[in-house]
């Protein structure tokens, strides 16, 4: 157990997320705020309290001074001016938090940890700044099923000339929960492998009630084991088992007994003879704690094997392969049609190629820079984060619907839009090519092709400039085929001469556009449920009606156009919220599908602890490669038979909508996007497979389990 505490300390130091200094810090699990209470101002002999208030999200908790079987107490490091010193934390009475056959002592809901400040006559406020500046660096471990070490830096200025009593109620409540000292003689006797405790002087009001027992010295008792207590007249007695991994033999054992928010503290000497300390057995920790320790202790598997040059090369190859993705093909098809119109315009081709390349590269740099900036601000994001937004999905579906209707011949931009706007493409072919590159990246970026996963995971850990070089390499790779074609005249000569086939080809290209819309609607259905997908379809039909109405002539255009616009506006007002809503939990959580079970934090370690190997499919509905692998290799009969034969547990982590826990799990593997396929074995590092799975690759990995 002692080694467990050391590991937790290392975990907190290595992985705690830093926050900018301020009066409060908010994470996904807690809101921590530095408060002060100085009703008589700040001066020698005056009562001054400061404290860290932690508001926990439901089911999350932090720890008392003795955390119990696992965990770490909250630690406060103060920076104060000369003449001011901080005392110890006045720990409120904790609650007992069972975890399987273990137990912890800590706090749920809202807790304030008060600390008294002693102001001596040596304290001299600055002439320019008369306030007392209190600085605090705090570390806390917050746990639910998983454990997250966090930290924050706080700065608070306490006026010296006026009172600070706005937080008086909070401090009064916290101080009321302090255990009251008992002056009566009490006993703790070691009797074999148990402690016999006797307490006198407790109020008559608690006589006969069941009390909680909280020792302040860790690693002495078996915290989660059953124990007995009884009242003998006004004397409370208890028999508590000693821990099999006891690491201390204290001469005195301070402890708190409590019922509800009322508690009493005593510090009796220990009599009797402590049993000899046994050799420390391997610590038995909960799967949640094992998850936190493993995430801190294991380096990302892929990152150490890459250099910047190799990462850029893999990113370049990945960008090339992106051109084969179905989501990119419609955009490239439009560019092909443009080639056929001006087959002899060599200069125009080259300028368009450079502009398209610039659009692709700039877009990748912008997306990469935005992701790095948001991650630096504390957001848990990965590559493809833009398609985790239902709004972005809906806008892309609308854009591709418009393009598809145009290609199908429903309308021409020249007649549908004002002439100044409609002629923009002809007047500004360079900008048109640039925007085509932007559009290609918007839809292609989530399709993490082979060789890109490790490079993107590696890039996230690099300084910003080097990371952007990797993102830029992806863009160059994606634009390279079109750029090369635009600069090689032989390609233009290979294209057929303009003719009637061009109209057929143009209308044919409408169908990949509509197929892309169908895919986007399906993706939205995974994010917002069937109601969201249905709402998007209705709005797309209404939008198509608006476009058709404005192709009419005369009065019909005015009347039908006005009615169609009003219909679209009414539908958007009534049905639009369904697109962005969070569906019920059963719709957003990856449901069990055949042998596949939903992934959740700590689940892998639970299965490994039972001796069962685990295979995790990190996937998303908007990831085309993921869907291809799911329907081919992961559905192959031989693969499924091998998995069954080795009793491999199958987990599916659905990243369709933003999930910080999955983002963190991907980061541990040196990845920032999906697909990622991993085999876990007890006592061995994870086996990360390639993004485009082959049957033989998976079967070979299974054979090694």
| pLDDT higher than threshold 90 for residue 496 | no
State the pLDDT at residue 352.
Answer: 81
Q: Which residue has the higher pLDDT, 380 or 506?
A: 506
pLDDT in the model for residue 169: 87
More confident call, 377 vs 94:
94
Angle at which helix 464-487 crosses helix 429-444, to 10 degrees, equals 120
Confidence of residue 376 (pLDDT cuts 50, 70, 90): low
Name the band, by pLDDT with cuts 50, 70 and 90, for residue 237. Answer: very high
pLDDT average, residue stretch 634-652: 91
Rounded to whole angstroms, how far apart are CA atoms 365 and 466? 11
Structure tokens at 162: 């006026």
Question: Please, which pLDDT band fits residue 426 given cuts at 50, 70 and 90?
Answer: low
Highest mean pLDDT among 33-47, 134-148, 174-188: 174-188
Q: Give me the pLDDT at residue 582, please.
A: 59
Is pLDDT at 678 greater than 80 in this prediction?
Answer: yes
Return the CATH number of 187-271, one of 2.70.50, 3.10.50, 2.60.40, 3.40.50: 2.60.40
**Taking residues 256-279, what's their average pLDDT?**
87
Q: Where are the domains of the chain?
A: 2-178, 187-271, 303-586, 590-703
Q: What is the mean pLDDT of residues 102-130?
A: 85
What is the structure's pLDDT at 400?
Answer: 80
Tell me what the mean pLDDT of segment 227-251 comes to. 89
| Residue 21 pLDDT exceeds 50 | no
DSSP secondary structure string for all residues of 49-65: EEEEEEEEPTT-BEEEE
Task: Please report the sign of the dihedral spanned by the C-alpha atoms of residue 297, residue 300, residue 301, residue 307.
Answer: negative
Per-residue model confidence (pLDDT) at position 329: 62
Q: Is the pLDDT of residue 2 over 50?
A: no
Nearest to 135 by CA among 52, 202, 212, 199: 52
For the chain, percent of residues with pLDDT exceeding 70: 76
Confirm whether 187-271 and 590-703 share one CATH topology.
Answer: no
| More confidently predicted of 280 and 120 | 120
Report the distance separating Cα 432 and Cα 505, nearest Å. 20
Alpha-carbon separation of residue 417 from 54, 160, 237, 276, 551 (angstroms) = 57, 67, 88, 89, 10
pLDDT of residue 629: 85
Question: What is the chain's Cα-based Rg?
Answer: 33
Each residue's pLDDT tens digit, 339-358: 655 556 677 778 888 888 89
Q: What are phi and psi of 526, to 5 degrees?
A: -70, -25
Name, in order, each residue with C-beta under 8 angstroms of 191's C-beta and a sequence gap of 6 or more. Answer: 272
Q: Output the pLDDT for position 294.
A: 47
Whether residue 518 is predicted with pLDDT greater than 90 in this model: the reply is no
148 in helix, strand or coil?
strand
pLDDT at 34: 92
Q: What is the pLDDT of residue 181?
A: 92
Of 9 and 538, the one with more pLDDT:
538
List all residues 6 or more positions away from 318 whose beta carbon is below 8 Å from its beta carbon. Answer: 448, 449, 450, 451, 452, 455, 474, 477
Band of pLDDT at residue 137, cut at 50, 70 and 90? very high
The average pLDDT across 640-662 equals: 86
- β-sheet bridge partners, residue 63: 106
Average pLDDT over residues 318-334: 66
* pLDDT confidence tier of residue 129, bands split at 50, 70 and 90: low
- Residue 240 confidence class, pLDDT cut points 50, 70, 90: very high
- Check whether 12 has a pLDDT greater than 80: no
- Average per-residue pLDDT for the chain: 78
Distances (CA, A) of 263 to 94, 116, 269: 10, 20, 20
Residue-wise pLDDT for 307-323, tens only, equals: 777 778 877 887 777 77
CA distance linking residue 530 with residue 539, whole number of Å: 14
Contact present, 441 and 323 (Cβ < 8 Å):
no
Lowest mean pLDDT: which of 243-252, 408-417, 583-592, 662-671?
583-592
Nearest to 213 by CA among 4, 275, 225: 225
Pick the range with the lowest mean pLDDT from 186-200, 633-647, 649-663. Answer: 649-663
Amino acid 9: pLDDT: 42
The mean pLDDT of 293-300, rounded to a whole number, is 42
Distance from first CA to last CA of the chain, Å, rounded?
A: 30
State mean pLDDT over 20-31: 74
Q: So what's the pLDDT on residue 332?
A: 63
Q: What is the mean pLDDT of residues 476-488?
A: 81
Top-ranked range on mean pLDDT: pick from 395-404, 458-467, 608-617: 608-617
Phi, psi of 102, rounded to the nearest 5 degrees: -110, 180
3 state SS of 657:
coil
Confidence of residue 586 (pLDDT cuts 50, 70, 90): very low
- Does 287 score more than 70 pLDDT? no
Q: Virtual CA dihedral for 33, 39, 42, 43, nearest 10 degrees?
A: -150
Nearest residue to 599 (alpha-carbon basis) of 678, 655, 653? 653
Architecture of domain 590-703: 3-Layer(aba) Sandwich (3.40)
Class of CATH domain 2-178: mainly beta
Q: What are phi and psi of 574, to 5 degrees?
A: -85, -35
Query: What mean pLDDT comes out for the span 540-555?
Result: 88
**Which pLDDT score, from 0 to 100, does residue 458 have?**
59
Q: Among 429-433, 439-443, 517-521, which stretch is predicted with the lowest mean pLDDT?
A: 439-443
User: At 297, is the pLDDT very low, low, confident or very high (cuts 50, 70, 90)?
Assistant: very low
Which tens digits make up the pLDDT trace of 197-217? Answer: 999 999 989 998 999 999 998
Q: Confidence band (pLDDT; 50, 70, 90) for 284?
A: very low
């Amino acid at each position: 157990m002692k080694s467990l505490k050391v590991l937790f300390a290392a975990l907190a130091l290595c992985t705690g997320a830093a926050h900018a200094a301020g009066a409060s810090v908010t994470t996904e699990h807690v809101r921590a705020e530095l408060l002060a209470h100085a009703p008589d101002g700040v001066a020698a002999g005056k009562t001054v309290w400061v404290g860290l208030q932690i508001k926990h999200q439901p089911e999350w908790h932090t720890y008392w001074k003795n955390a119990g079987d696992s965990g770490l107490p909250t630690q406060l490091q103060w920076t104060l001016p000369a003449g001011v010193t901080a005392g110890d934390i006045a720990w409120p009475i904790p609650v007992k938090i069972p975890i399987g056959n273990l137990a912890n002592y800590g706090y749920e809901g809202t807790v304030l940890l008060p600390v008294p400040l002693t102001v001596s006559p040596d304290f001299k406020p600055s002439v320019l700044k008369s306030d007392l500046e209190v600085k605090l660096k705090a570390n806390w471990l917050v746990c639910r099923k998983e454990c997250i070490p966090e930290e924050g830096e706080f700065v608070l200025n306490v006026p010296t000339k006026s009172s600070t009593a706005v937080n008086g109620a909070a401090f009064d409540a916290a101080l009321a929960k302090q255990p009251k000292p008992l002056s009566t003689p009490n006993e703790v006797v070691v009797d074999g492998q148990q402690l016999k405790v006797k307490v006198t002087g407790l109020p008559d009001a608690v006589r006969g009630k069941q009390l909680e027992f909280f020792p302040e010295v860790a690693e002495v008792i078996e915290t989660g084991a059953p124990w007995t207590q009884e009242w003998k007249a006004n004397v409370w007695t208890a028999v508590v088992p000693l821990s099999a991994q006891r690491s201390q033999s204290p001469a005195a054992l301070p402890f708190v007994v409590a019922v509800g928010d009322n508690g009493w503290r005593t510090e009796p000497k220990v009599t009797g003879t402590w049993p000899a300390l046994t050799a420390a057995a391997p610590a038995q920790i909960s799967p949640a704690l094992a998850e936190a320790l493993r995430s801190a202790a294991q380096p990302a598997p892929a990152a150490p094997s890459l250099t910047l040059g190799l990462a850029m090369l893999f990113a370049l190859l990945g960008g090339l392969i992106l051109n084969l993705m179905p989501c990119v093909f419609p955009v490239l098809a439009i560019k092909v049609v443009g080639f056929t119109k001006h087959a002899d315009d060599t200069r125009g081709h080259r300028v368009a190629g450079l502009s398209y390349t610039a659009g692709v590269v700039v877009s990748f740099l912008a997306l990469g820079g935005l992701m790095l900036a948001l991650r630096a601000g504390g957001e848990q994001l990965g590559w493809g984060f833009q398609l985790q937004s239902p709004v972005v999905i809906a806008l892309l579906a609308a854009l591709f619907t418009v393009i598809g209707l145009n290609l199908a011949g429903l309308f021409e931009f020249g007649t549908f839009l004002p002439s100044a706007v409609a002629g923009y493409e002809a007047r500004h072919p360079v900008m048109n090519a640039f925007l085509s590159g932007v559009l290609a990246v918007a839809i292609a970026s989530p399709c993490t092709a082979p060789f890109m996963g490790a490079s993107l995971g590696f890039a996230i850990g690099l300084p910003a400039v080097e990371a952007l070089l990797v993102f830029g390499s992806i863009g160059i790779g994606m634009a390279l085929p079109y750029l090369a074609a635009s600069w090689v005249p032989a390609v233009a000569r290979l294209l057929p001469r303009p003719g009637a086939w061009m109209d057929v080809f143009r209308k044919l290209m409408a169908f990949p556009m509509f197929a892309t819309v169908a895919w986007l609607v399906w993706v939205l259905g995974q994010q917002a449920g069937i109601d969201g997908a249905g709402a998007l379809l209705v709005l797309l039909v209404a939008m198509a009606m608006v476009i058709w109405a404005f192709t009419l002539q005369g009065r019909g255009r005015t009347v039908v156009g006005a009615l169609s616009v009003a219909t679209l506006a009414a539908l958007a007002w009534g049905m639009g919220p369904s697109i962005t809503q969070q569906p019920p939990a059963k719709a957003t959580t990856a449901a069990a599908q055949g042998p596949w079970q939903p992934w959740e934090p700590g689940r892998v370690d639970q299965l490994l602890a039972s001796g069962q190997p685990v295979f995790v499919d990190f996937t998303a509905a908007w990831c085309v490669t993921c869907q291809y692998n799911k329907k081919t290799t992961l559905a192959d009969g031989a693969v499924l038979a091998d998995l069954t034969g080795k009793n491999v547990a199958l987990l599916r982590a659905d990243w369709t909508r933003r999930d910080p826990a999955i983002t963190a799990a991907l980061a541990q593997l040196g990845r920032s996007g999906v697909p990622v396929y991993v085999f876990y074995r007890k006592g061995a590092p994870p086996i990360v497979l390639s993004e485009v799975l082959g049957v033989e690759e998976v079967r070979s990995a299974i054979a090694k389990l």
